[in-house]
Amino acid sequence: MEESLNLNMNKEYIKITFPDGRKQDFKYGTTGYDIAKSISPSLLKKAIAIEIDGSEQDLCENISSDANISILTLNDNKGLSIMRHTLTAQVLAKALKNLYPNVKLAIGPVIENGFYYDFDLDKSITIQDLPMIEKEMKKIISSGNEIEKKYLSKEKVADLFRNKEETYKVDIIERSEQQSNFSTYYQKNTDFVDLCYGPHLPSLKHIGPFKLTKVAGAYWKGDSKNKMLQRIYGTAWKNQDDLKKYLNILEEAEKRDHRALGKQLDLFHFQEEAPGAVFWHPKGWTIFQNLINYMRKKQDEAGYLEINTPEILDKSLWQRSGHLDKFGDNMFTTITEDKKEYAIKPMNCPGGIQVFRKGLRSYRELPYKIAEFGKVHRYEPSGALHGLMRVRAFTQDDAHIFCTEQQIEEECIKLCNLITNIYKDFGFDQIVIKYSDRPEKRVGSDTVWDKSEEALLNTIKSLNVPYEINSGEGAFYGPKLEFVLRDAIGRDWQCGTVQIDLNLPERLDCNFINSEGNKERPVMIHRALFGSLERFIGILIEHYSGNLPLWLCPVKAVIATVTEKCNDYAKNVYDLLNNNNIKTEIDLRNEKIGYKVREHSHSKIPIIIIIGEKEKSSNAVAIRKLGSKNVETFILEDFIKITKNQIEQP
């Protein structure tokens, strides 16, 4: 390494602690290579990186103090991520340079299940170019080149990439506050070098099967004021079977894409005049309202009081709440003619607190549960917007519970049971809860933190569902739970949250009168089940591939006539069904019945009611359900009774 890391050579040995708790002395300055070699030749062969005190490092890194370590391989998720990082930074980037010498390289990070690389090139890369790029990547990998790490000073590393005319790398270096120890990675036997935090694989021999998946555009640094770059996405796995499984999921996900299904089913649209905001069509808005009505019923049963608070509030409230400092860049603000500053709310909680604060609250009123279907607005870069899944304007099913310290656990148990039962109503049986406890920097007394953390842990243990502990990753104002749902094709979606807040009641002077007649701060519990209604609808559409549960569907049935002679009877059936709150459409067109059935199946109408002379004469209906080729005949009165039961909300 060219630049010294100033190792303290006075210490001869350091103590290394392994994952199983075993301790062993190694020479000062030992490396991951040395440790892996001391364990076994087979581990040395598989080792790709080392984790030192929770930080992933290259195998070549010197260890200069006592440490807890773990040798990483491709069998670890962390190791898999390092392999993907090396693939994008050392292989995809080099392939682009080989094929397009004038390309300017930007960044190549790892993302969930894959990676991407951003670059600047005059030629537009299309999906048709990806096989050629993949071929060049495989050629590079076949060399098995070793990767060497060097540390350089800011001046030297800037000169290095300036000479290579890599303007984006130079921009990163010049804007960095770092002055020394810039890590660079050289691919041996080539002139390729990259600027990267690392770590990387020790050689290209460890790279597993991969696939480039798509191309897109992305602004440099995510800022629309900067130049639009090109981006290539890819995925990589430790073996061919894992790659094949993931590609099958991608193929299925494309079929289920809520944006395409939203258009096909006439649910919603987006347009340039309102980026990140949904134009709901009648059918889509019906689904939206069905969700609200469902949640309203559940909240009523659980003792919540529904409120509504203003969307625009004086900027001073957001300053007092702390949101302006932390989220100011993502807030929409305005100054009126009388020089007052307002902000469109990015969150509902400060408004909810104002409702609680209005009047003197007694301990006898606690827990005080208020819920709101609040419209919020948050600025998101245009490149981050993604249909219903990532928007700028959305509705949250927020609730805030104000309680005493003694009530925290009981309320959390009730709340989490409510959440898991609701998810099961929507067909999500695989739920994982992620629990995050206190970070180093936090507000509130340790006593309340102890009670809050104990309450959340006891709650999730009582639910008998899988959970993960993310130590130290709670918010500065309280521990939290995140509910992750697994959909029909195995993808995970983080939806609901339960967040104990020890901060806002203090900042916004929230009190109740306790049993001794003194003012006391309540504990505030934030709760969201759907999260964003828009996003949850997107998840539902993809989970069910557009074939939503009957009670949630905007249209339950469509009547299709065989001949015009049946039109009068069909109209009577139509009136009867709609009068019984079975939302039904009618198709009296002079088209063949097969054509009508195909068209309405494409629109995913759950029930197609076929009416011909036979049905007319017997006061019956012939029923074909979506996804089935079977046709069943029912007396009309019986069909109405059965269907009314089926469309009832859970």
Instruction: Render pLDDT for 370-382 as a digit per residue (tens, 0 to 9).
Output: 999 999 999 988 7
**Radius of gyration of the chain from Cα atoms?**
30
pLDDT at 5 over 50: no
| Active site residue ranges | 349, 378, 396, 398, 400, 480, 526
- Compute the average pLDDT of residues 440-459: 83
* pLDDT at res. 442: 77
Chain centroid to Cα 618, Å, comes to: 53
Residue 296: CB atoms within 10 A of its CB come to 16
pLDDT band at 348 (very low <50, low <70, confident <90, very high): very high
Query: For the residues 490-506, what does the mean pLDDT come to?
Result: 89
**Mean pLDDT, range 437-463, rounded to an integer:** 84
pLDDT by residue (tens digit) across 194-241? 999 989 999 999 999 999 999 999 889 888 789 999 999 999 999 999
Please report the pLDDT score of residue 563 as a whole number.
93
Strand 49-52 with 557-561, pairing: unpaired
Distance of CA 539 to the CA centre of its chain: 11
Mean pLDDT across 455-480? 85
Q: Indicate whether 600 pLDDT > 60.
A: yes
Percentage above 90 pLDDT, the chain: 81
- Is the pLDDT reported for residue 263 higher than 50? yes
Domains of the chain: 13-73 (3.10.20.30), 78-255 (3.30.980.10), 269-309+348-543 (3.30.930.10), 557-646 (3.40.50.800)
Contacts of 448 (CB under 8 A, 6+ apart): 405, 502, 523
Residue 300 has pLDDT above 70, yes or no: yes
Q: Does the pLDDT of residue 2 top 70, yes or no?
A: no
Helix boundaries (H) for 144-281? 154-163, 167-175, 240-255, 258-264
Is residue 542 within 8 A of residue 253, CB to CB? The reply is yes
pLDDT bin (cut points 50, 70, 90) of residue 475 is: confident
> Which amino acid, one-letter code, is at 225?
K
Please check whether residue 63 is in contact with residue 92, taking contact to mean a CB–CB distance below 8 angstroms.
no
DSSP state of 180: S
Please report which confidence band the pLDDT of residue 343 belongs to, taking 50, 70 and 90 as the band edges: very high
Collapsing DSSP to helix, strand or coil, 539 comes out as: helix
Q: Which of 71, 64, 72, 70 is nearest to 30 (CA)?
A: 64
End-to-end CA distance of the chain: 65
User: Whose CA is closest to 399, among 273, 546, 470, 498?
Assistant: 498
- Residue 6: pLDDT band with limits 50, 70, 90: very low
Res 1: pLDDT: 46
pLDDT of residue 10: 55
Q: To 10 degrees, the CA torsion angle through 45, 72, 50, 231?
A: 100
Q: In degrees rounded to 5, what are phi and psi of residue 98?
A: -65, -40
pLDDT tens-digit series, residues 550-595: 999 999 999 999 999 999 999 999 999 999 999 999 999 999 999 9
Residues 71-85 pLDDT 10s: 999 998 999 999 999
d(CA 369, CA 603): 40
Tokens of residue 437, six digits: 């406890």
pLDDT digits (tens, 9 = 90+) for 82-93: 999 999 999 999
Calculate mean pLDDT across residues 25-39.
93
**What is the average pLDDT value for the chain, to the nearest integer?**
92
Q: CA–CA distance from 487 to each of 249, 428, 542 (Å)?
A: 11, 7, 8
**What percentage of the chain carries pLDDT values higher than 70?**
98
What are the tens digits of pLDDT across the range 167-200? 999 999 999 989 899 999 999 989 999 999 989 9
What does the pLDDT read at residue 45?
93
pLDDT band per the 50, 70, 90 thresholds, residue 4: very low
